[in-house]
Structure 1
């Protein structure tokens, strides 16, 4: 049995874990990065990057089919080579993963340990069956995993998660997507554009992360034109029949429907990877789900020398948030290792994007969290917005929210063209605490899609006046 002593032990070498390691080292602490699985981060291996590769292929197919309106004609049918699509997805995915692995390989050998870690007590870890680690502070950065309800687990390999999609050698003919969140909508639309017959089954009317009723209704209508979309479906049965799955569900209208698919892609959310950590062998306070109770500002579990960062805490499962939390947790773990107090994390402006077409974005406060009467709403439709119409991408509706008392911009929800880029402008404006008047003094070039944002801001200014 080997024994290692370190200032900071980081469990998990994903986006949060790597950031925590670098921050702890930068703070002058000794640090040990522990990983039991494959290196490469969720983003590079099964998340952000492979999904965007699939979406890029889907966009190419969509544009090839829709040139007629511009007078650009493709003679004959557009042919999708599923093998070639998936070969590029996997080839480029492996390239991105390789960059991350190279970075880990470059770290000093004495700072890395392979094996699954579990707590013996607050400061002692057992890694595999071969090494004990004593740390003055521990960062839990174990990430998260897709949820697979028992109903679908019984389907065996006919029920897949997003991780499995990127291992396909070819595209299937029929896929049911269970879950209308960001992952379900992105992959559902991409597969539909690549010629797969797709049905997306949501629950409780969810359409991505949207909470504004008008924006959500617009998005529902838009996606219903792209694939079979049942945002309020109640799945009653899922039965495997050979290499097919037969689903029975009740639609929003109360109609009982049945259909057969090659796969069921389950996108029903994610859960933190904390089950194998042995947290009940520590003195940490745990909630009903076995999650350490921690301070969202410092990421510290009570007064214990344990920090929880990234997807493992289940709060904001986004790469940039995981990296920020990892840096804060690593720096705070180094402070606690020196018997100093942890410091609060300075969070950036909330920002969420779904890479659908049209895109979905949310910045700042959600509509659902705003107190009635405390804010005004500015609106713009992109259907007649100049540049959007020029490109025939004129589908979308945006709401911007401004604080009634101060005129300060506080949030926005929308679906529309170039949402991913406009979202960054609004996130910067929010973080700088700009008012609507301040934003309208900024330059807007012509003709650009951002002029639609200016229309919404002008509408908000009228409401404030």
Structure 2
């Protein structure tokens, strides 16, 4: 502590104001704690400012553009050329972000959470120093929740330059639609942005180091997406080991080894999305004796507590699935644990969503996972091609699959690839969370014609009494 620096005492300190941090602050305040939140950048964190929200805005605009261009399939004739004004698209995207971040600020103030701008560094097990542009202050806390998130992993052979070699942050702020785009990494971020820019007119090439797109996602789900990418003209190169690249001024060149042969890919921009790493390396965690794993993620227990009793960690910096809604969920658990409640984390019904085309969403156990855990699963799949609403939307690719225990018919997991999968997964998560069986879903009256009927039909298939498909 610097001589003359009188530490200010606070009750609960939250470091980071993303979807984990601001939710933790609000929940702790609701439970009667006096809360102070520290954010070095913008309220809302990466998700609201440079991730989930801006990417979905661009994805939605790209899909709208594609629908207009293909409207003749539904008898709608468009006179003249349909064009994309990228500066205006980005202006609209930024307005969406501004509304949400403004909402976060209002919520924090409405819950009497003190907001401090600056970067926090631990200087002891119960204190941090917050540094801003022109000042610094030490804060002594009773409890702290670390919610510092993550950042893109950089390839040493292809470092970000923010001009031609981009991270997802720069890719979400382009003022021009690229004619050619090379994406290094075929995970969900690369796939989502690659699909969006392909719909906006870019010639997209995805270089993925493993054998398949979306590593870790069931092949049955990714098959539909791969088919659509081909239709969009996106070139996917798997088992491509990137060797390096160079900004040539007006373009970028990327070198990759494919089947033992070196190939060069030229493009206007190269987007590198090979993963994310936790923002824990510059927090001074060692001064508070906080343990991290070999990758830098803070180790936590089932109450989000680190190895130091009054220190908690949530969201990306605590590892596991790097999902905004997981961070928000853990935020509530941590805040409630601090307040003395018996809350613990349970990821059994965690939703996973990929905003590809068609969308992918799943929760609970897959068929293979169910078998690994000792179940004898029964699987029922219902195609969107047999759903009236999907046909009327002209979006019939994909299916809903229900995995249930063959004896009790308890729903173990649901996988969806198709239109509005990100919305449909809500019913699936509720079913898995509440321990519903297939009959609970099948006997629930679903509106017609509507996409959720597909979940009901798949559940009926588990029971062997499906109406709109042949029972097996």
Alignment TM-score > 0.5, same fold = yes
1:83 pairs with 2:87: yes
Q: Secondary structure at the match of 1:15?
A: coil
State the Cα distance separating 1:116 from its structure 2 match: 1.5
Task: Answer whether contact 1:120 1:281 (CA < 8 A) is retained.
Answer: yes
Q: How many pairs align?
A: 457
The one of 384, 393, 397 aligned to 2:395: 393
Tell me what 1:274 maps to.
280
Task: Answer whether contact 2:350 2:364 (CA < 8 A) is retained.
Answer: yes
CA 1:125–1:406 in structure 2 vs 1: closer, same or farther (change >3 Å)? same
Q: Secondary structure at the match of 2:14?
A: strand
Task: Answer whether contact 2:366 2:403 (CA < 8 A) is retained.
Answer: no
State the Cα distance separating 1:210 from its structure 2 match: 5.7
State the Cα distance separating 1:286 from its structure 2 match: 2.9
Tell me what 2:130 maps to.
127
Q: CA offsets per residue over residues 406-430 of structure 1, 9 Å max, x none?
A: 2111112231122122211111111
CA 1:4–1:285 in structure 2 vs 1: closer, same or farther (change >3 Å)? same
State the Cα distance separating 1:28 from its structure 2 match: 2.8
CA distance, structure 1, for counterparts of residue 318 and residue 327 of structure 2: 10
Tell me what 2:296 maps to.
290
CA distance, structure 2, for counterparts of residue 285 and residue 236 of structure 1: 34
CA distance, structure 1, for counterparts of residue 126 and residue 16 of structure 2: 16
1:112 pairs with 2:115: yes
CA 1:91–1:25 in structure 2 vs 1: closer, same or farther (change >3 Å)? closer
Q: Secondary structure at the match of 1:360?
A: strand
CA 1:270–1:352 in structure 2 vs 1: closer, same or farther (change >3 Å)? same
CA 1:383–1:203 in structure 2 vs 1: closer, same or farther (change >3 Å)? farther
Matches within 5 A, 1:132-143: 132-143=138-149
The one of 273, 288, 309 aligned to 1:304: 309
CA 1:450–1:33 in structure 2 vs 1: closer, same or farther (change >3 Å)? closer
Tell me what 2:43 maps to.
39
Q: Secondary structure at the match of 2:78?
A: coil
Task: Answer whether contact 2:409 2:437 (CA < 8 A) is retained.
Answer: yes
Tell me what 2:52 maps to.
48
Give me the TM-score of the superposition, normalised by structure 2: 0.88
Q: CA offsets per residue over residues 311-363 of structure 1, 9 Å max, x none?
A: 2212233333222211221232344xxxxx86424557211222233111112
State the Cα distance separating 1:4 from its structure 2 match: 1.1
Q: Secondary structure at the match of 1:390?
A: helix
CA 1:436–1:283 in structure 2 vs 1: closer, same or farther (change >3 Å)? same
Task: Answer whether contact 1:360 1:414 (CA < 8 A) is retained.
Answer: yes
List gaps (5 residues or longer) in structure 2: 466-470
CA 1:39–1:390 in structure 2 vs 1: closer, same or farther (change >3 Å)? closer
Task: Answer whether contact 1:385 1:452 (CA < 8 A) is retained.
Answer: yes
Task: Answer whether contact 1:207 1:219 (CA < 8 A) is retained.
Answer: no
List gaps (5 residues or longer) in structure 1: 336-340
Tell me what 2:255 maps to.
248
Superposition RMSD in Å: 2.7
Give me the TM-score of the superposition, normalised by structure 1: 0.89
Task: Answer whether contact 2:29 2:112 (CA < 8 A) is retained.
Answer: no
State the Cα distance separating 1:106 from its structure 2 match: 5.7
Q: CA offsets per residue over residues 103-155 of structure 1, 9 Å max, x none?
A: 4466658x333321122222122222732222222111111112122122165
Tell me what 1:217 maps to.
223
Q: Secondary structure at the match of 2:430?
A: helix
After TM superposition, the structure 1 stretch with the greater mean CA deviation from structure 2, 304-313 or 446-455, is 446-455
The one of 320, 331, 336 aligned to 1:315: 320
Matches within 5 A, 1:85-104: 85-104=89-108
1:170 pairs with 2:173: no
1:237 pairs with 2:244: yes
Greater relative contact order (CA < 8 Å, ≥ 6 in sequence): 1
CA distance, structure 1, for counterparts of residue 74 and residue 260 of structure 2: 41
